[in-house]
Amino acid sequence: MYFIVVKYQVKPEFADVFIEHTAEFTEATRAEPGNLWFEWSRSVENPDEFVLVEAFADDEAASAHVGSEHFPKGLEAMRPLLVSTPKIVSRKVEGAGWDEMGELRIDGGA
């Protein structure tokens, strides 16, 4: 699986509408057959920072995403909203999804 985290520094005047501007790109990516998840979060420490956590099933799915028609369109839609080049961590990892955190198990009782 390819696991990717990207941090976006958004211009303050666009922070409240950033997710709206990425909606088409987000929907198209989530519809890709090899996409496992594509989830946006807004930083609680910096309201102008958005974090994207995404994953793709394998090499082919990751390549298909970058080669898709919506990929360059999505990046260009974001470009004028950003302060700087996004920071990324992109790694191929074992597994096919989220695992439970062993150090913080929550059992069904109260």
Cβ–Cβ < 8 Å for 99, 93: no
Pairing of strands 2-9, 87-92: antiparallel
pTM: 0.92
Predicted confidence (pLDDT) per residue in 9-59, tens digit: 999 999 999 999 999 999 999 999 999 999 999 999 999 999 999 999 999
Predicted confidence (pLDDT) per residue in 61-80, tens digit: 999 999 999 999 999 999 99
Domains with residue ranges and CATH for the chain: 2-93 (3.30.70.100)
Q: Which residues contact 55 (CB under 8 A, 6 or more apart)?
A: 1, 2, 3, 4, 35, 36, 37, 97
